[in-house]
Amino acid sequence: MLGRVDYAPIFQAMKDFTADSVSHPQDQLWICEHSPVFTLGLAGRPEHVLARGDIPVVPTDRGGQVTYHGPGQVVAYPLIDLKPRGIFVKEYVYRLEEAVIRTLAHFGVTGHRVGGAPGIYVRLDDPSGHAALPQRPQRRVPGSPAPQPDFDGLGKIAALGIKVSSHRAYHGVALNVALDLEPFLRINPCGYAGLKTVDLSTIGVSATWDDAAHELAAQLQRLLALS
């Protein structure tokens, strides 16, 4: 657990750790929260930052668009080698999402995947309901385009973005616990205009940052076989 740290030094530390496999042969899991920051992924478009105000914008080398990190959000960075696990990128993303889904279940919340939109979502009218979403990921013909995501009635509670270099993964996943959600109104979250962002607090779940952080860490350790 790293506590609250600025984003830029952690970003650089992740790149340094991943690039030096000789000095850092062991996988690690970093858990932290960040001071307020907007981060732009490789596909990020500056116009999706609508009003940055006094919050810095940091370009990164992860996948995805723009998101916000701030106090009250659990951010998990698994720094792992996928090759010895026999895990490909699609399976790795699935396991990150599954760790969030299991963490939410621990707090009585049902997390959902949405086809074509990485991350985890909850039903705003029934956060604990188990009914499957009509827009859940479906098997599709190889080579066919991803479906247009349907966020009707949903709020995004966790975002993810990763980078894989020579089979070694960094960046990770962020779970909203109890934070100021106003900065999400200053961006198109993950590139989607009007996408509602929620945290555990706004859907009626009282959980501390420490409780959520320890549960998410435990789930990631199980699903990624981290010692």
Q: Which residues are catalytic?
A: 190
Could you tell me if 227 and 85 are in contact, meaning their C-beta atoms sit under 8 angstroms apart? no
Per-residue buried b or exposed e for 28-44, using 16+ beta carbons within 10 Å of the residue's own CB: ebbbbbbebbbbbbeeb
- β-strands 168-176, 154-165: how paired? antiparallel
Per-residue buried b or exposed e for 75-100, using 16+ beta carbons within 10 Å of the residue's own CB: bbbbbbbbeeeebeeeebbbbbbbbb
Could you tell me if 64 and 195 are in contact, meaning their C-beta atoms sit under 8 angstroms apart? no
Alpha-carbon gap, residue 115 to 102, rounded angstroms: 19
- β-strands 3-5, 28-34: how paired? parallel
